[in-house]
A and B are shown apart, each in its own frame.
Chain A
């Protein structure tokens, strides 16, 4: 059972607003990830972190930024939301000793 949480679950926001998507896990996992997925499409890795104060960009270029100040927390921020950012954002984490990757429930973002 994975203990990884994302808030909000759904967000509808206007163009130009700043938003932060929250992701937290209580498993003590050191590696955390953000994926973007459009309906019926494949997962795209946009950011990852393998520990506190380390972040890297993923395979898909994204205008979002992330931070990792605490092990359990990996928020994603969009400084100025655009309709092209409309998508589902999935957070995931993996432990050091195991390689199973667990996903949070996701945030469905709609930018109008």
Chain B
């Protein structure tokens, strides 16, 4: 079992819809969680991070964390074709934090015009 699991997709949504991207993690000691966007051929770009249970909103993006269920999600409201990319979920483990983040394999999002 991978430490951070994501559905590889592609997830296809029409322009203007809400895209919902999901991620589960296995390490109960994980402290914080990150969402990255990666366009084809480019490097990952940090979108949001969340440390506490509940929702965190930033513009069109909302991150949701449920530590009891070991579940993280990213909602993208009013999806645009420019949101089409691979979205990576990452978790920071409960250790000293010296190690890198653990990344999922990513979900490819396609926003149809």
Contact B100 A92 (CB under 8 A): yes
Q: Which residue of B lies closest to A51 (CB)?
A: B98
CB neighbors of A among B7-49 (8 A): 31-32, 34, 36, 40-46, 49
Q: Which residue of B lies closest to A34 (CB)?
A: B100
Contact B43 A90 (CB under 8 A): yes
Q: Contacts of A2 on B, CB cut-off 8 Å?
A: 46
Query: Pick the contact of A39 from B41, B49, B90, B101 — CB < 8 Å?
Result: B41
Which of A14-22, A78-86, A99-107 lies at the interface with chain B? A99-107
Asked if A111 is at the interface (CB within 8 A of a chain B CB), the reply is no
Asked if B97 is at the interface (CB within 8 A of a chain A CB), the reply is yes
Q: Contacts of B44 on A, CB cut-off 8 Å?
A: 43, 90, 103
Interface residues, chain B, with chain A CB atoms under 8 Å away: 31-32, 34, 36, 40-46, 49, 88, 90, 92, 97-101, 103-106
Give the contact-size bracket for chain A: 20 to 34
Q: Give the complex CA separation of A103 and B39 in angstroms.
A: 13
Q: Give the complex CA separation of A48 and B99 in angstroms.
A: 8
Q: Give the complex CA separation of A41 and B106 in angstroms.
A: 9
Contact A58 B100 (CB under 8 A): yes
Interface-central residue, A39, A42, A45, A105, by most chain B CB under 10 Å:
A42
Contact A48 B34 (CB under 8 A): no
Contact B100 A45 (CB under 8 A): yes
Taking the closest CB of chain A, its distance from the CB of B9, in whole angstroms, is 12
Contact A101 B100 (CB under 8 A): yes
Contact B45 A42 (CB under 8 A): no
Q: Contacts of A108 on B, CB cut-off 8 Å?
A: 41
Q: Which residue of A lies closest to B51 (CB)?
A: A99
Q: Give the complex CA separation of A45 and B41 in angstroms.
A: 18
